[in-house]
Amino acid sequence: MLTTQASESCNAQVRLFLKPKHNLDEFFIHFNCLLADKRRKETESNYDGKQSAPYIVLEKSSILQHAVKIFTKNIFNRIQEQYLEIEDYLIELVPDNRYDGFISYRTYKMEDGERSDERVTLVDTSTATLVCDCRMFRTFGVLCRHMLKVMRFLGGFGNDSMRTIPDHYILKR
């Protein structure tokens, strides 16, 4: 989540509990109610996530098998949603593609004979680092379909570091 989005979300929640007419004592009483409500919702979310396992659509995918073990149900579902879209994408190596240790891959969909959603993903296989120009991971903390397509492509050619999600893409909550 972007910093401004997080700030606006927090402000909206605070406005539900706090009013300008409250004195300092009332402020702290209402603020404690807000914190208790947030803690309760997080506890409920954790409980729900642990009580029901997410459904894996493609059971043979080593990437999804790894993701279901390490991510919350909500994050896993978002990653799986992206992963299911990679079947529609083609991949190609970008000519003259070396840049500071990275290799460039282009992913795209063909629709009505035209390329669409064309993206470039930079990969450093020695560090299992991927950077996609769609910036989904940077913005939302979820691997995008372009990065997942490149990971599956490279994992299929024996690159073990791309058969599971690299540790630096597993964000702390």
DSSP 57: S
Encode pLDDT of 33-48 as tens digits: 888 888 888 888 777 7
Question: What are φ and ψ of residue 104, in 5° steps?
Answer: -100, 135
pLDDT at 51: 67
pLDDT at 132: 95
Six-digit token pair at 171?
A: 């964000």
> Would you say residue 1 has pLDDT above 60?
no
* Percentage of the chain modeled with pLDDT above 90: 38
Q: What is the Cα–Cα distance from 32 to 162, expressed in whole angstroms?
A: 45
Q: What is the value of pTM for the model shown?
A: 0.70
Q: Which of 70-74, 134-138, 162-166 has the highest mean pLDDT?
A: 134-138
Q: Can you name the residues that pair with 132 across neighbouring β-strands?
A: 121
Q: What is the mean pLDDT of the chain?
A: 84
Banded model confidence at residue 143, pLDDT cuts 50, 70, 90: very high
Banded model confidence at residue 153, pLDDT cuts 50, 70, 90: very high
Q: Are 135 and 142 in contact (CB under 8 A)?
A: no
**Mean pLDDT of the region 68-88:** 91
Q: What is the Cα–Cα distance from 37 to 34, expressed in whole angstroms?
A: 5
**Mean pLDDT of the region 113-136:** 92
pLDDT at 2: 53
pLDDT at 121: 94
Buried b (16+ CB within 10 A) or exposed e, 57-87: eeeebebbeebbeebebebbbbbbebbeebe
Domain boundaries, the chain: 3-51, 62-169
Helix runs in 18-134, H state only = 24-51, 62-70, 73-84
Handedness of CA 100, 125, 119, 167 (dihedral sign): negative
Least reliable range by pLDDT among 17-21, 81-85, 164-168: 17-21
